[in-house]
Chains A and B, each alone.
Chain A
């Protein structure tokens, strides 16, 4: 499996102050990495630093794929901007300076169509964003991320404010996309139950404990720091 993302001693934080110990991480294709930790633990700060949206305090992101599909929190899409689902998905097809090329979007059409198909959002294409349900919005944002034909999919709390069945549907979709497109996935979520079912690896961060644990899910859930925070719930799930 090819290496997609490599961080070496990456320190993340704000105002030149690191909030977590250095993070060494290697994300390969076909892996699903769950970024877990309590509220305010530094999960989003870590992800935004990896994406290049925040400057690193120390260390480096020594390898980052050319195309990253970023699925932001749904509240990040401004309700004041009129947009249909198809407008958002097409936006995902814009990369770099492609907007300078008048025919670039025509070239991106096959990727947009495939993204709509893979996320089962074709029927929603003409529906205004504000009229979509939470689950539909999430699938549209995933289609937007896929329209850029990424190697790595990064999702920030994709199932917040959803009922359990809709959450399951989103996680099942992520797993299906991982399999069909060979993606690596980095996902921030609080739903430990579903992460325990779908995640192959875990990055556990906790600003209060000053700890970072990264590795295969079955190893991380057994660490003292993880058990101190979450107990043995996930370890019990891993047992046959």
Chain B
């Protein structure tokens, strides 16, 4: 009796073949999930879409340079092309006034459309590589070269560790940028570091996995984490976990169900979002259904005069019923 070739046992039996792409998906998912929290809470979701599209253009441009101008492959490699174009696009998006430029949907739309059109235009000149460009845009690649796995591993380490170290600074510009600037935090430097690290992560990941899963990893894990996390630190950890799970399990499902890897990873991330959204909704429902205390003559709280009205004393503070809620009227004075 032979194993079903699509079973999990068969998958792990061939781990030598599938290990690198599976772990690559998990690492990219974890890093992009982590970075994606900043993207989602700053409402810059289309930034990652524009950057991954720019990465696609960089790959196409690199191939074109090899074919049309005979630039050595070591120089005009797809990875270099993706990195250069993505960083350039990120710097252009930073603009003179970083905060406004990054939030401008129209500017992001412009970059996305121009890079998409340019990628297709260049694609017609490098016919033999069109299949590769499509795999980059839609993430249908199954195999990951050992060199690409090592590249992703180093990228995760070199970007992940500084982000863990600097996360308090990045949190400040997300929570309240103006207050952070008043307290002397280098908000523009932090903006630049955030966008450049995102650009590098997106360019390498897009080159290896494809644009669809990269866009999914920067959006869906963060959306999932923000549904259940109590604060930003928790959200960062949860998003990294969801991203890693999506990358790993997505590859497993792609193997079992024989569907494109990028699509499977995106669907798993979407399922994680659905699960977290349900948990968040359940939590809020429990809160709403809890019997709410209503102040009244028999409620058990002392009623005291306060100016021209009366308040109830709760834990040493004055509460005043007002239009269905309680206003806080300060501490009880002796």
Residue of B230, B325, B329, B331 near A82 (CB, 8 A) is B230
Q: Which residues of B (302-334) have their CB < 8 Å from a CB of A?
A: 306-307, 309, 315, 317, 320, 322, 325-331
Residue of A133, A148, A169 near B183 (CB, 8 A) is A148
A70's nearest neighbour on chain B, judged by CB, is B182
Q: Is the CB of A163 within 8 A of B328?
A: no
Q: Which residues of B contact A76 (CB under 8 A)?
A: 176, 178-179
Most chain B beta-carbon neighbours within 10 Å: one of A67, A94, A133, A172: A94
Q: Which residues of A contact B122 (CB under 8 A)?
A: none
Residue of B174, B231, B315 near A84 (CB, 8 A) is B231
Question: A133 and B326 in contact (CB under 8 A), knowing A76-B178, A94-B172, A165-B307?
Answer: yes
Interface size class, chain B: 35 or more
Interface size class, chain A: 35 or more
Tell me the minimal C-beta distance from A66 to chain B in angstroms. 8
Q: Is the CB of A166 within 8 A of B327?
A: yes
Q: Which residues of A contact B181 (CB under 8 A)?
A: 51-53
Q: Which of B10-18, B113-121, B163-171, B194-202 touches A?
A: B163-171
Q: Which residues of A contact B165 (CB under 8 A)?
A: 100, 102
CA gap between A67 and B235 in the complex, in Å: 30
Interface string of A74-92 (1 = CB under 8 A from B): 0011101111100110011
Q: Is the CB of A100 within 8 A of B176?
A: no
Q: Which residues of A (161-202) have their CB < 8 Å from a CB of B?
A: 163, 165-166, 169, 172-173
CA gap between A72 and B325 in the complex, in Å: 25
Q: Is the CB of A68 within 8 A of B182?
A: yes
Q: Which residues of A (33-88) have their CB < 8 Å from a CB of B?
A: 48, 51-53, 67-68, 70, 72, 76-78, 80-84, 87-88
Question: A81 and B230 in contact (CB under 8 A), knowing A96-B183, A135-B328, A169-B330?
Answer: no
Question: A81 and B232 in contact (CB under 8 A), knowing A105-B168, A133-B327?
Answer: yes
CA gap between A78 and B41 in the complex, in Å: 8
Most chain A beta-carbon neighbours within 10 Å: one of B166, B175, B178, B325: B175
Q: Which residues of A contact B183 (CB under 8 A)?
A: 67-68, 70, 92, 94-96, 148
Question: A84 and B230 in contact (CB under 8 A), knowing A96-B184, A123-B315?
Answer: yes
CA gap between A87 and B229 in the complex, in Å: 13
CA gap between A172 and B317 in the complex, in Å: 15
Q: Which residues of A contact B331 (CB under 8 A)?
A: 120
Q: Is the CB of A88 within 8 A of B175?
A: yes
Q: Which residues of A contact B230 (CB under 8 A)?
A: 82, 84, 128
Most chain B beta-carbon neighbours within 10 Å: one of A68, A81, A144: A81
Q: Which residues of B contact A77 (CB under 8 A)?
A: 175-176
Q: Is B296 an interface residue (CB 8 A)?
A: no
Q: Which residues of A contact B174 (CB under 8 A)?
A: 78, 81
B329's nearest neighbour on chain A, judged by CB, is A165
B168's nearest neighbour on chain A, judged by CB, is A99
CA gap between A158 and B99 in the complex, in Å: 24
Q: Is the CB of A99 within 8 A of B169?
A: yes
Q: Which residues of A (109-146) have their CB < 8 Å from a CB of B?
A: 120, 123, 128, 133, 135-136, 144-145
Q: Which residues of A contact B322 (CB under 8 A)?
A: 163
Q: Is the CB of A82 within 8 A of B176?
A: no
A166's nearest neighbour on chain B, judged by CB, is B327
Q: Which residues of B contact A172 (CB under 8 A)?
A: 330
Q: Is the CB of A96 within 8 A of B185?
A: yes
Q: Is the CB of A72 within 8 A of B176?
A: yes
Q: Which residues of B contact A97 (CB under 8 A)?
A: 169, 185-186
Question: A91 and B327 in contact (CB under 8 A), knowing A52-B182, A128-B230?
Answer: no
Tell me the minimal C-beta distance from A184 to chain B in angstroms. 15
Q: Which residues of B (33-61) have their CB < 8 Å from a CB of A?
A: 40-41, 43
Q: Is the CB of B175 within 8 A of A133?
A: no
Interface string of B219-260 (1 = CB under 8 A from A): 000000010011110110000000000000000000000000
Residue of B41, B169, B179 near A81 (CB, 8 A) is B41
Q: Which residues of B contact A163 (CB under 8 A)?
A: 322, 327
Q: Which residues of B contact A165 (CB under 8 A)?
A: 306-307, 309, 320, 327, 329
Q: Which residues of B contact A169 (CB under 8 A)?
A: 328-330
Q: Is the CB of B175 within 8 A of A100?
A: no
Q: Which residues of A contact B231 (CB under 8 A)?
A: 82-84, 87
CA gap between A120 and B325 in the complex, in Å: 20
Q: Is the CB of A83 within 8 A of B232?
A: yes
CA gap between A123 and B319 in the complex, in Å: 14
Question: A94 and B320 in contact (CB under 8 A), knowing A81-B41, A81-B232, A136-B328?
Answer: no
24 A-B pairs with C-beta separation under 8 A: A51-B178, A51-B181, A51-B182, A68-B183, A70-B182, A72-B178, A78-B174, A78-B175, A80-B43, A81-B175, A82-B226, A87-B175, A91-B175, A92-B179, A95-B183, A100-B169, A102-B165, A105-B168, A120-B317, A128-B230, A133-B328, A136-B328, A165-B320, A166-B329
